[in-house]
Homo-oligomer: A and B are copies of this chain.
Amino acid sequence: MYFQKARLIHAELPLLAPFKTSYGELKSKDFYIIELINEEGIHGYGELEAFPLPDYTEETLSSAILIIKEQLLPLLAQRKIRKPEEIQELFSWIQGNEMAKAAVELAVWDAFAKMEKRSLAKMIGATKESIKVGVSIGLQQNVETLLQLVNQYVDQGYERVKLKIAPNKDIQFVEAVRKSFPKLSLMADANSAYNREDFLLLKELDQYDLEMIEQPFGTKDFVDHAWLQKQLKTRICLDENIRSVKDVEQAHSIGSCRAINLKLARVGGMSSALKIAEYCALNEILVWCGGMLEAGVGRAHNIALAARNEFVFPGDISASNRFFAEDIVTPAFELNQGRLKVPTNEGIGVTLDLKVLKKYTKSTEEILLNKGWS
């Protein structure tokens, strides 16, 4: 397969409600759809999920699209691609830039699945027809608002709830939710807001039977996390510093965590994610699919991944209406008794809703990849 053209569609979907983390607050999802068209006219779609600010990782939406245009698409234009697994190798000399790589690589996976006339889920060996999903709740003003939201999502059928925590919005929030929902699958995400001096507070969280505490310490730390994990009953889960299977091996070898939040965008795409999932299953590390407030294309890729057997724990993959009034794909993803259906149509299994996409599109750029394909 040769890719002859790329279309970079810059769109921005308003969020139904601002989403707050220890990093900051988002009111919309600003993203690109990367559309690749091959010599047979097959269209593959990926989503560039980097945030506008370099606060979660070092990439921004504008620096990542620059890397796609200046580095990744020129590499893709140079040769025939026999299988999607080649893309990770093609980009391997490029340090970092995982979100840029993932957006392009996932569009290639979609195109190949369509060429083979099967769903992306089937193509990557996923067998589930639907997946259990969890919901992630941003930092709230007070306990009352938080309890209302948890109640609302539990009523909607979400089986697992993740609370964002931060200094002064931790113990009392977790305690209140645990008291109101004694049996709920509950976890806390700290987004690197703590350090070793907060040990006693983190130790206190041990009593609330949490599934895990996500990234309590620095975004590049392995050693302090290992020190903490030895002293906690609760699993520590790593997110920001896991960019490849090598990072998982490093974390596992020194005992930094017992769970991994696996985001396709953060690890550079599907090939890298599959290696991480397989490593985790082999080494009894709980792996689950994280979220980046994706629009429908990114969400579809996540669901295909989470339909694999390694994924037994509900991911941060909510229905489209968790964040957006309208989604850019049809059919939108809808919760059904706490589960999302795994698309069975070809490729990512959903199609772009051109009317909605057009409404939220800010710009479209077409790039001819290779003029000289014989």
A residues apposed to B, CB below 8 Å: 23, 53-58, 60, 62-63, 66-67, 70-71, 93-97, 218-223, 240, 243-244, 246-247, 249-250, 253-254
Contacts and interface: CB of A to CB of B under 8 A. Distances in A.
Which 5 A-B pairs rank lowest in CB-CB distance, beginning with the nearest?
A: A58-B96, A63-B63, A58-B95, A54-B94, A223-B250
A62 B66 contact: yes
A67 B63 contact: yes
A220 B57 CA distance: 15
A98 to B, nearest CB: 9
A87 B222 CA distance: 27
Contacts of A250: 220-223
A57 to B, nearest CB: 5
Contacts of A223: 249-250, 253-254
A240 B53 CA distance: 24
Given A70-B60, A223-B254, A54 B246 contact: no
Contacts of A60: 67, 70-71
Contact of A221 (B53, B70, B221, B246): B246
A253 B66 CA distance: 37
| Residue among A94, A221, A223, A244 with the highest chain B CB neighbour number at 10 A | A223
| Residue among A62, A93, A220, A247 with the highest chain B CB neighbour number at 10 A | A220
Given A54-B94, A63-B67, 17 more contacts: A53-B94, A54-B95, A54-B97, A55-B94, A58-B58, A58-B97, A60-B67, A60-B70, A60-B71, A62-B66, A66-B66, A95-B219, A220-B247, A220-B250, A221-B250, A222-B250, A223-B253
Nearest to A58: B96
Nearest to A94: B54
A66 B53 CA distance: 12
| Residue among A63, A218, A247, A250 with the highest chain B CB neighbour number at 10 A | A63
A373 to B, nearest CB: 25
Contacts of A254: 223, 254
Contacts of A218: 246
Contacts of A220: 243-244, 246-247, 250
Contacts of A67: 54, 60, 63
A57 B240 CA distance: 18
Nearest to A96: B58
